[in-house]
Every structure is written in C-alpha cells, then in structure tokens.
C-alpha cells in the first residue's frame, strides 16, 4: 500500500506538470495570436513556477535505490566536548524535525538521553513519509559546528561534533527475520518527560540483540507494548544497516574503493563565528544563510548531494 501510494503521488505530480505546461502553451498562443505584450509578465511567472516544480520532482528520479521510498530512522550522538556537543546534537535533531514539518512528514521521537546540563547525549527519531530515507540518506555522517559558546563564561569560540546515523525502516517479513531466542527484552521506568504514569510504571523498553550485541531502547510512549514495537522497528533498521554495510564493503573490495565510516571526516560544517556559512564538504555546496538551514531548510544540500551521485555505479 505504501508503494502504491508513492506511485500515485508521482503520477499525480507528472500529470499536474503536463497540465500546467499545456496551460502556459495556451497563454503563449493567445499572446502571439493577439500580439498582446501585456501577458509577458504572466507567462514568465508561470514558466518560472513550472521550472521550479519540475526541478523538485526531477530529484525524485534520482531516488532509485532499493530502500529510497521507505521511512527513515535517525540516531543522534553527541561527540566529545560535553555540554557543547550535547547542545549541538539537540540543535541537529530540531533541524530535522523542522525539515519533516516543512515536508508534512510525520516525525516521532522514540528515545532521548538528556545531556548533563543541556542538549542530548543521544536520541532516536522516526520520520515517516514518501522517499524519507532517499532524501535523508545524504545526512548520514559527522556534522561540525563552530560558534561562540553560550556555555563558556569567556564566550570563547568552540568546535563541536555530532554524529547523525540514517537508516531505512526495515520490513521484518521481507528484509530479515530475527529469532525470538536471539533477543532479550528488559523494562525500566522512563527517565524522560511524560507525566507521573510514565515515571511510576516500567513502560520503557530496552532490547538487546544477543548475536550482535546491538542494544536499542524506547521510552516515548505510555504503553510498554507500544515502546516494544518502536524498539523492534529500530532494531530491525539497525540490523538492516549492518547488512547493507556488509554488501557495500564486499562491493568496495571488488571495485577497489575505500569506504569511510564512523567518526571520520565531517560531511558538513556549520560556522556561526567569525563568519556565517554552512558548507558540505562532499559537494562543495554552501550558503551563508545559516539560520534557515538550522531551521530545517536543507533541501538544497540534499539535492546537491543527489545530483553529485548521478552516473556513479550502484
């Protein structure tokens, strides 16, 4: 049903472009027939809107990976640096929540480990929407922030790092299967916000996948059952990511390419002092409008990354 819904949306968009193009053609024909120059501005505006719409859906043609149409699970991890990095991790989480809101995607915070003074040590976020993973896969990696610290009495300049992991949501029955004997489920009391009920009952769930040692937790819902379901979705996504990395490593051996993973070079820098700039180090795309980027307007970076991958071997 999700695939059908996504295909219907794509077909509807192309039909809309075809209709708009026909409307513009009609206006041009009228202007030529009547030699009416007053329609020039209207024609230019309609063509600009048509080109802008085409550019938006052209990007979707680049989202042809095996998991691109799926929902996405994002995990945030503060780097070394204490409160500075924890605050930066929370800023990044807010950025992606605002991006999802702008796209009218559903975003749910599944788990949060609060920072000692501010921010978050780690968090897990689920974003549901057509091509959510295809768009967000470019965001996987280390993000670097340079700013004057609001937590430093001397107001000195600090550099902070945070890791963003992006995983496609797995389909349990088709992608992989987990032996029930391979998981251990523990319950505990929620430590986050949510009222007295969550504080007094052991509704939070921690699941350990024994063969790999992977541990996931969820404490966002009042119900233990709901938290278990959410934790299982994250576990499946992490296991699928492990499988994808194995396949890519094998392909890299064959092709002779080197794969950078983990806390390697940062993919993007956000500089707020001494000047303002956000720069992606993979595509060299940059902007000085840091405020809008941190408020979720990251499509230009996503699209630049997707365009840079056109023509590469799958």
What is residue 199's predicted lDDT score, i.e. its pLDDT? Answer: 44
What is residue 264's predicted lDDT score, i.e. its pLDDT? Answer: 60
What is residue 94's predicted lDDT score, i.e. its pLDDT? Answer: 98
Domain parsing of the chain, residue ranges: 2-60, 72-170+260-308, 180-255
Question: What is the mean predicted confidence (pLDDT) over 104-123?
Answer: 93
Most confident segment among 13-17, 30-34, 207-211: 207-211
Between these two residues, 38 and 127, which has the higher pLDDT value? 127
Question: What is the mean predicted confidence (pLDDT) over 24-51?
Answer: 85
Between these two residues, 42 and 105, which has the higher pLDDT value? 105
Is the pLDDT reported for residue 154 higher than 90?
Answer: no
Which residues are within 8 A (CB) of 311 and not within 5 positions of it... i.e. 6 or more apart?
none
Is the pLDDT reported for residue 313 higher than 80?
Answer: no
Share of the chain above pLDDT 90, in %: 52
Q: What does the pLDDT look like over 118-141, one tens digit per residue?
A: 999 999 999 999 889 999 999 999
Strand pairing of 268-271 and 277-280? antiparallel
Write down the CATH number for the domain with range 72-170+260-308: 3.30.70.1660
**C-alpha to C-alpha distance for 288 and 279, rounded to whole angstroms:** 9
Is the pLDDT reported for residue 177 higher than 90?
Answer: no
**Are the C-beta atoms of residues 50 and 78 closer than 8 Å to each other?**
no
Which of 45, 95, 103, 101 minimizes the C-alpha distance to 74? 95
DSSP string, the chain: -HHHHHHHHHHHHHHHHHHHHHHHHHHHHHHHHHT-GGGHHHHHHHHHHHHHHHHHHHHHTT--STTTTS-EEEEEEE-SSTHHHHHHHHHHHHHHHHHHHHHT-EEEEEEEEE-SSSSEEEEEEEEESTTHHHHHGGG-EEEEEEEE-TT-TT--EEEEEEEEEEEEPP-TTTT----GGGEEEEEE---SSS-HHHHHS--EEEEEETTTTEEEEE-SSS-HHHHHHHHHHHHHHHHHHHHHHHHHHHHHHHHT-----SSSS-SEEEE-SSS-EEEETTT--EES-HHHHHTT--HHHHHHHHHHTTT---
Is the pLDDT reported for residue 257 higher than 60?
Answer: no
pLDDT category of residue 309 using cuts at 50, 70 and 90: confident
Question: What is the mean predicted confidence (pLDDT) over 43-48?
Answer: 88
Which residues are within 8 A (CB) of 238 and not within 5 positions of it... i.e. 6 or more apart?
167, 214, 216
Task: Give the CATH architecture of domain 180-255.
Answer: 2-Layer Sandwich (3.30)
56-60, 112-116, 126-130, 280-284: range with lowest mean pLDDT? 56-60
Q: Which two tokens stand for residue 294?
A: 């941190």
Q: Which contacts (CB < 8 Å, 24+ apart) does range 37-42 have?
A: none
Predicted model pTM = 0.79
Is the pLDDT reported for residue 198 higher than 80?
Answer: no
What is residue 277's predicted lDDT score, i.e. its pLDDT? Answer: 97
Is the pLDDT reported for residue 22 higher than 60?
Answer: yes
């Amino acid at each position: 049903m999700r695939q059908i819904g996504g295909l219907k949306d794509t077909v509807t968009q192309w039909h809309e472009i075809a209709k708009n193009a026909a409307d513009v053609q009609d206006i041009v024909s009228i202007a030529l027939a009547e030699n009416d120059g007053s329609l020039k501005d209207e024609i230019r505006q309609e063509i600009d809107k048509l080109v802008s719409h085409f550019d938006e859906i052209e990007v979707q043609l680049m989202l042809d990976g095996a998991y691109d149409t799926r929902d996405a699970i994002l995990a945030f991890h503060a780097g070394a640096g204490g409160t500075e990095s924890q605050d930066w991790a929370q800023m990044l989480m807010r950025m992606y929540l605002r991006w999802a809101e702008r796209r009218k995607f559903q975003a749910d915070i599944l788990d949060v480990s609060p920072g000692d003074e501010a921010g978050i040590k780690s968090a897990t976020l689920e974003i549901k929407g057509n091509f959510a993973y295809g768009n967000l896969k470019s965001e996987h990696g280390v993000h670097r922030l340079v700013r004057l610290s609001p937590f430093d009495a001397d107001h000195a300049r600090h550099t902070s790092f945070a890791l963003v992991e992006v995983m496609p949501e797995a389909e349990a029955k088709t992608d992989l299967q987990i032996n029930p004997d391979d998981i251990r489920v523990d319950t505990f009391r929620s430590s986050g916000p949510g009222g007295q009920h969550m504080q007094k009952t052991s509704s939070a769930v921690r699941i350990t996948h024994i063969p790999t040692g992977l541990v996931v937790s969820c404490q966002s819902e009042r119900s233990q059952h709901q938290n278990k379901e959410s934790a299982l979705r994250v576990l499946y996504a992490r296991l699928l990511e492990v499988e994808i990395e194995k396949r890519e490593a094998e392909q890299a051996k064959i092709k002779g390419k080197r794969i950078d993973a983990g806390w390697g070079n940062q993919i993007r820098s956000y500089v707020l002092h001494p000047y303002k700039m956000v720069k992606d180090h993979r595509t060299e795309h940059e902007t000085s409008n840091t405020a809008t980027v941190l408020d979720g307007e990251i499509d230009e970076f996503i699209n630049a990354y997707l365009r840079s991958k056109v023509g590469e071997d799958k």
